[in-house]
Structure 1
Amino acid sequence: MNLFRIACFAVLIILMNGCQTAAEEHAEGKEAAAEGAPVSDVKDVPYDVFALKVNYGNGKHNMFAAKYSRQEREEAEIKDKLNGADREGEEALNEMKMVLTELSIATSDSESAVIRNVLEAFNLDERYDQFQLQVKWPDGTSKVYTGKS
């Protein structure tokens, strides 16, 4: 009978140790998945629509445009004619979410403050010719910001 108790105790210790190791591996896997997940899966953008267009002179080659929309699904597009770098799909969505989650625009902010903050967030030159931004918040509030140098 003692041998049976010892064997049961040994099996119990082995099972408990195995369960603990499996639980630790599962927790580590979840953390790794969150760290390796695309930005589009991790962060929440505080805007339903964000449409930016900045012109630096005449011609389409002197323009930066960025669009983010969360209607039926999240979509984004970046047309950076200044640097010849257009992005669509997941790449654009990740980049837009990185910028927009850090960019705070309130409806009470002045137009000049919004323009300055947006240009800084997208690393754009302040010497633009035309600036146009449409923002729609989840509560349905919508605003358009425009500027000319």
Structure 2
Amino acid sequence: MADKTTKSRLLSGGNPQIPKGDGDAPVQAYLAAIPGWKRAIAERLDALIGQQVPDVRKAVKWNSPFYGAPDAEGWFLSFHCFDRYLKVTFFRGQSLQPVPPEASKSQDTRYVHLREDGDFNEAQLADWVKQASSLPGERL
């Protein structure tokens, strides 16, 4: 039987086209289909989220992994592949301290861009994940 990751089509920016689904399996399929340097960073991010939020809820929606607090509705974080970075979305990012650096059209949402050099402040990212998981989730 063929591995499902080999059937993934890459969209612009190298973002894998993965069928939507709930749970860890679709997220792992998404991670496995990410090309090149972005895969290692995405796997680090997924592991960091799991460390900070035990029993985190996971899903793939709109060709992006989503993460939610175990006992809450909605989502606190998502990410998406672009050519030069992974865009990490904090849906309630304006409530985080310090506020993540990248602005959004949505007043409450903030972003962090993780780039190829893999040099990002993991402690700060872990703190943002922990903070974000305690806020009301975004219902999508």
TM-score normalised by the chain length of structure 1: 0.25
**Which structure has the larger Rg over C-alpha atoms?**
1
Higher helix share: 1
